[in-house]
Amino acid sequence: MRWIQLTCLLLTFIISGTAWAENKRLVIGISQYPGSLHPAYDSMMAKSYILGMTRRPISVYDANWEDVCLLCTELPDFDKGTAKYVVTESGKEGIAVTYSLDPKAVWGDGTPITTRDVMFTWEVGANPESGIDNFEFYRRIEKIEVIDDKTFTLVMNRRSCDYQGIPGFTLLPSHVDRPYSDDPREYQNRTLYEKDPTNPALWYGPYRVSNVQNGQSITLVRNERWWGKKPWFDEIEIRAIENTAALTANLLSGDIDMIAGESGLTTDQALAFERRHGDDFQFIYKQGLVYEHIDLMLENPILADVRVRRALLQGIDRDAISQQLFAGKQPVAHGSVNPLDSVYNPDAPRYDFDPEAASRLLEEAGWTLASDGVRRNAEGEKLQLELMTTAGNKTRELVEQVLQSQWKKIGVDVRIRNEPARVFFGETVSKRKFTGMAMFAWFSSPKHIPLTTLKSDQIPNEENNWAGQNYTGYAKPEMDQLIEDMDLKCEADQNQAAWDRMQELYATDLPVLPLYYRANPYILPKDLKGLVPTGHQYPSTLWVENWHRAP
Amino acid sequence: MAAFLARRLAQSGLILFIVIFLTYWLMGLMPGDPIDLMVQSNPDLTPADAARLKALYGLDQPIITRFWNWLTQALQGDFGYSRLFGQPVWEVLWPRLVNTLILMLPVVLLSIVIAVPLGLLAARKAYGWFDYTVNLASFAGISVPPFWFAILMIIGFAVTLNWLPASAAPPGDAGLMDHLRHLILPVATLTILNVGTYLRFMRAASLQTLRQDYVRTALAKGVSETRLLTHHVLRNALLPLVTIIALSFGSLFSGTLIIETIFAWPGMGKTIYDSVLGNDYNLAMVGFLLATATTLLGNILADLCYGLLDPRIELEEVKLGG
């Protein structure tokens, strides 16, 4: 009898093992289809997600939010002499950083990845006519000194503490794409990434693109020339299904195996799905760098008073919002720097829910409660503010209603006026036409210096053609200096001191009401292992070779 | 006939120009542009980058200048590149046009095949149980929200019964049968949503025809039921249906946004929608050009069909009348 049981157990093990062994194809559902697969154009998360499996940036932030080499052998370091301050040929105080590419690194057709590709990438990137997204990064590179086939030194024309990582430097294959770059204006249209995206010579990750069904799906197969750990899956298909109800239906019907956290459902949608189908999948909620907040128009006389701004923050129960609407998966934000970021200052002031303190602050500011429940000042003007956000974003609309009702309890009359995202961002926010409060999110990267959002010369106006993102109109010399220090004072203590003070000032002056950090919900098959979400703009697919199925 | 056609084509050309100009102008009125939206999602994009990209894509030019540039190039056969896809406009649109035809052609054909006999029979058996059932089904098809119905179909046939795939797009290496299997749900969904309109028109036209003296005379002469419906009623009742089919001719080429989105089928509807939102003028203009031109062409064909179906209608009269 015992041997029968043992045989059954062995058979079960063999059958299930065979099933896993056979199922080496993974179909991932995402809610966006990338317009182009060229790494330097039209940055969007869906594209980063796919390129994470087919390319390897020189350096990125890892899941611990630390700079790491992916294509380089080690990060530049002052002690090792691979980073040093220099005066550039144009006489600017700059920095020279030396990188060595992985000696085994080759393109998908076997051609070694060399400094020729580095030079070609720079040529394309530094040409304003080529239309590369982050041209400003390339413009900072004054010179590239080629040391040998694998080693090069970037001479940057500006000193900056983020010298270690160059994630924006996205290598292009000189040996196949150079002929298309003769006319920089036409390069974007003629590049092989558009004309022949399945060409193996374009890819250098664990996978390469093998099939593109435009607008539908992209299929990846193992890159035979990949020099790193062999990936477990033979084939990965990324299928774009923009409608999230259809996306979950596809998951339930087995048409897709998982929904990517980086470009899939919102947290509330995932929570609702988990309530119904929690036993069938594994769910991971990774809090990230998407920072939901309310920009305050500081030119509004009501909001110009910092006591009113603090009262507004103390009058809302963000913990309850996080718990009730997001089951605690989207934690309360107390500032613009995420607690997972190494530069986070835990001692910066924070404002917990305290409606009584909020009422006291409003009284101090001259707003007294009238019989109709709305506060008025000495002139009899109502404490009335307008709150705006993107129409159709159900989560934000729900949060808006909660905030409105909580502010009503402390005597603040908040009127909601929402607009389509196109109008809201394209006109109202970017041209500072909101009169009171504007709720939206900022995407950032670890150690992201808030230069464009808090520096006084970044306030959009007609004279500067509405450039900059300091929509609140916040202007403080100390903050300007701190931002410069964060960028230029690279000694660890001095740098952290600047970050600490910046966060204190941000929390004290409150030009913005912090709400919560969004989370990325991953819905995965129960047997998928090795996927580690990052929470920032460098997707989990950059480590796809660690993904596998296991019982 | 030739004069009629020439006149109709000239009129259509004028309408086409007006529609294209208005579309371009309306797109230009929309606040913001894709670069503004890109700034929100890319922390590394500086204001200088944004200004440079706007200049590069001509988004900083006045709308009239942009329209004139586009028109002069288009008249020379150069429709340019899609900004969203980085490919020549025709290379983006052609596969989507084929996809739309693959989806819409069976839908229109099935709708006609179902609507014509059912409409005729419902009229013949007006106010009986059959008529009421057909009417109820028609109204349900017309009234049900396409989004909700499509999801319901997916949940029913893909999730619960697991008979059919949930999306219209098969894997890259799929064969013909697999392609057809993936198309069943979207085609069925669209047909059910579409057939009601055709059916209502067919029933109303048949009902009117059945009241005509010549039908009564034919019945008095002992004409069989089948012959009465197919020879005397059908041809006369087809006129309103031809109008509806002509009007929906444009949808053969312009697609259906909601169904394409839910079934992840990259057709013209979704492409035009994305191109408008993404300020991809080159792509949107050609998409609209196609949709408008085919609708106008459908109307001309309908005029010709009127003459064929009812010899009493002369094309010159159509012109005077219409």
Query: A199-242 pLDDT, tens per residue?
Result: 999 999 999 999 998 888 999 999 999 999 999 999 999 999 98
Alpha-carbon radius of gyration of chain A? 26
Range of the domain at B275: 94-309
Q: Is A389 on the interface with B (CB under 8 A)?
A: no
Please tell me the distance in Å from B18's CA to the nearest CA on chain A: 26
The answer to whether residues B167 and B276 belong to one domain is yes
Q: Is the pLDDT of residue A349 over 90?
A: yes
CB atoms B154 and A426 under 8 Å: no
- CB–CB of A113/A105 below 8 Å? yes
Q: Is the pLDDT of residue B71 over 70?
A: yes
Q: What percent of chain A stands above pLDDT 90?
A: 71
Distance CA A142, CA A481 (A): 25
The answer to whether residues B262 and B197 belong to one domain is yes
Last residue of a domain, one of B46, B75, B104: B75
CB atoms A253 and B265 under 8 Å: no
Indicate which of A60, A124, A250 best probes the interface with B, i.e. most B CBs within 10 Å of its own CB.
A250
Question: Which residues on neighbouring strands pair with residue A368, listed in sequence order?
Answer: A376
pLDDT for the residue A2: 57
The answer to whether residue B135 sits within a structural domain is yes
Mean pLDDT of the B300-313 span: 78
Q: Between the CA of residue A300 and those of A305, A309, A511, what are the distances in Å?
A: 9, 11, 12
Q: Where are the alpha helices (DSSP H) in chain B?
A: 2-29, 34-41, 47-56, 63-75, 89-124, 129-143, 146-153, 176-210, 213-220, 225-227, 234-248, 251-254, 257-262, 268-277, 281-309, 315-321
Q: Model confidence over A471-490: pLDDT tens digits?
A: 999 999 999 999 999 988 88
pLDDT for the residue A4: 58
Picking from B31, B44, B155, the nearest residue to A168 by CB comes out as B44
pLDDT band, very low/low/confident/very high, at A130 (cuts 50, 70, 90): confident
The answer to whether residue B319 sits within a structural domain is no
Q: Under DSSP, is residue A183 helix (H, G, I), strand (E, B) or coil?
A: coil
Mean pLDDT of the B228-251 span: 81
Q: What percent of chain A stands above pLDDT 70?
A: 96
Predicted TM-score (pTM) of the model is: 0.83
CB atoms A136 and B96 under 8 Å: no
The answer to whether residues B220 and B272 belong to one domain is yes
pLDDT for the residue A21: 47
- Domain count of the fold of chain B: 2
pLDDT band, very low/low/confident/very high, at A440 (cuts 50, 70, 90): very high
The answer to whether residue B86 sits within a structural domain is no
The answer to whether residues B29 and B107 belong to one domain is no
The answer to whether residues B14 and B102 belong to one domain is no
Comparison of pLDDT for B70 and A506, the residue scoring more: A506
Q: Model confidence over B97-143: pLDDT tens digits?
A: 899 989 988 998 999 999 999 999 999 998 999 999 999 999 999 89
The answer to whether residues B71 and B100 belong to one domain is no
pLDDT for the residue B61: 83
The answer to whether residues B32 and B117 belong to one domain is no
Q: Spell out which residues of chain A touch residue B32, defining contact as CB-CB under 8 Å.
A: 422-423, 425-427, 430
Among candidates A540, A415, A492, A520, which has minimal Cα distance to A79?
A492
- CB–CB of B158/B166 below 8 Å? yes
Sorted by where each starts, the structural domains of chain A and their CATH numbers stand as 23-55+205-281+525-550 (3.40.190.10), 56-185 (3.90.76.10), 289-519 (3.10.105.10)
Q: Which of residues 352-371 of A touch B (CB under 8 A)?
A: none
Among candidates B181, B179, B163, which has minimal Cα distance to B171?
B179
Q: Spell out which residues of chain A touch residue B36, defining contact as CB-CB under 8 Å.
A: 425-426, 430
Q: Spell out which residues of chain B touch residue A134, defining contact as CB-CB under 8 Å.
A: 42, 44-46, 49
The answer to whether residues B143 and B176 belong to one domain is yes
Question: Which residues on neighbouring strands pair with residue A72, listed in sequence order?
Answer: A101
Please tell me the distance in Å from A129's CA to the nearest CA on chain B: 7
Q: Which of residues 32-61 of B touch A (CB under 8 A)?
A: 32-33, 36-53, 56-57
Q: Which residues contact A13 (CB under 8 A, 6 or more apart)?
A: none
The answer to whether residue B266 sits within a structural domain is yes
Copy the structure tokens of residue A394: 């159900």
CB atoms A45 and B41 under 8 Å: yes
Please tell me the distance in Å from B152's CA to the nearest CA on chain A: 10
Comparison of pLDDT for B126 and A54, the residue scoring more: A54
Q: Which of residues 514-543 of A touch B (CB under 8 A)?
A: 537
- Chains A and B: how many Cβ contacts under 8 Å? 177
Question: Which residues on neighbouring strands pair with residue A525, listed in sequence order?
Answer: A281
Phi, psi of A468 (to 5 degrees): 100, 160
Distance CA A135, CA B125 (A): 72
The answer to whether residue B227 sits within a structural domain is yes
Phi, psi of A410 (to 5 degrees): -105, 15
Segments of A235-383 assigned E as strands: 235-240, 258-259, 281-296, 368-369, 375-376
Indicate which of A25, A33, A38, A42 best probes the interface with B, i.e. most B CBs within 10 Å of its own CB.
A42
Domain CATH code at residue B293: 1.10.3720.10
Distance CA A68, CA A74 (A): 8
Q: Is A26 on the interface with B (CB under 8 A)?
A: no
Q: Is A465 on the interface with B (CB under 8 A)?
A: yes
Distance CA A127, CA A131 (A): 8
Last residue of a domain, one of B16, B45, B75: B75
pLDDT band, very low/low/confident/very high, at B44 (cuts 50, 70, 90): low
The answer to whether residues B152 and B301 belong to one domain is yes
- CB–CB of A333/A291 below 8 Å? yes
Last residue of a domain, one of B41, B75, B109: B75
The answer to whether residues B170 and B229 belong to one domain is yes
The answer to whether residues B59 and B136 belong to one domain is no
The answer to whether residues B204 and B124 belong to one domain is yes
- Strand order from edge to edge, sheet including A512-525: A207-213, A217-222, A235-240, A25-30, A258-259, A512-525, A281-296, A437-442, A384-388, A413-416
Q: Is A246 on the interface with B (CB under 8 A)?
A: yes
The answer to whether residue B89 sits within a structural domain is no
The answer to whether residue B205 sits within a structural domain is yes
- Least confident window among A6-10, A261-265, A298-302, B103-107: A6-10
Distance CA A324, CA A272 (A): 12
Q: Which residues contact B1 (CB under 8 A, 6 or more apart)?
A: B315
Q: Is A388 on the interface with B (CB under 8 A)?
A: no
- Least confident window among A176-185, A296-305, A402-411: A176-185
DSSP state of A438: E
Copy the structure tokens of residue A173: 């294959």
pLDDT band, very low/low/confident/very high, at A304 (cuts 50, 70, 90): very high
Closest residue of B to A128, CA-based?
Answer: B52
Q: Under DSSP, is residue B130 helix (H, G, I), strand (E, B) or coil?
A: helix
Segments of A394-511 assigned E as strands: 413-416, 437-442
Picking from A242, A252, A255, the nearest residue to B261 by CB comes out as A242
Handedness of CA A463, A466, A470, A474 (dihedral sign): positive
Q: Is B85 on the interface with A (CB under 8 A)?
A: yes
Copy the structure tokens of residue A98: 């030396």
pLDDT, averaged across chain B: 84
The answer to whether residue B263 sits within a structural domain is yes
- Least confident window among A199-208, A374-383, A416-425, A514-523: A416-425
CB atoms B47 and A239 under 8 Å: no
CB atoms A425 and B37 under 8 Å: yes
pLDDT band, very low/low/confident/very high, at B316 (cuts 50, 70, 90): low
Q: Is A112 on the interface with B (CB under 8 A)?
A: no
pLDDT for the residue A20: 47
Which position has the token pair 């005729």? B120
Picking from B49, B167, B266, the nearest residue to A250 by CB comes out as B167
Comparison of pLDDT for A468 and A20, the residue scoring more: A468
Distance CA A492, CA B70 (A): 54
